[in-house]
Amino acid sequence: MQASERWPRPCSIPAIFAITADPFLVFTSNICAVMGLRSLYSALAHLLGRFRFLNVALAIVLMLVGLKILATEWLVEWMGHGFTFYFLGVVVLVLALGIAASLLADRVGRRRGGA
């Protein structure tokens, strides 16, 4: 058994608390994560090799989640209770920018290498 297959593995509990504090959603999302998302991890590991800036985008997303957890009360006061949807949009934007930057860098690299 490899080290990555041993229990306990890192959980997604901080990530789900960034979205909701409902105990039912936290519990069920973590059960689903434990039961069947190994294939998603494998796909993400493959994508990290293809999209070179995706790891930077994921690091930024994790940093944003940490800041959101720390500043939830302030964000609710400032943006209202719908700030979670804005935050989700920012996460999608960061991931899209990471993928777009990777594709653009590959295209520029092929032009310079091929010319």
At 6 the pLDDT is 46
Q: Where are the domains of the chain?
A: 3-114
Q: Which residues of 22-46 are buried (b: 16+ CB within 10 A; e: fewer)?
A: eeeebeebeeebeeeeeeeeeeeee
The per-residue pLDDT string of the chain (115 residues; one tens digit each, 9 = 90 and over) reads: 444 444 444 555 666 666 777 777 677 777 766 666 666 667 777 777 788 898 899 889 989 988 888 888 888 888 887 888 888 899 999 999 999 999 999 888 888 875 5
At 93 the pLDDT is 96
- Could you please report the per-residue DSSP string of 77-111? HHH-TTHHHHHHHHHHHHHHHHHHHHHHHHHHHHH
Whether the Cβ atoms of residue 11 and residue 30 lie closer than 8 Å to each other: yes
- Dihedral, CA atoms, 25, 28, 31, 37, nearest 10 degrees? -70
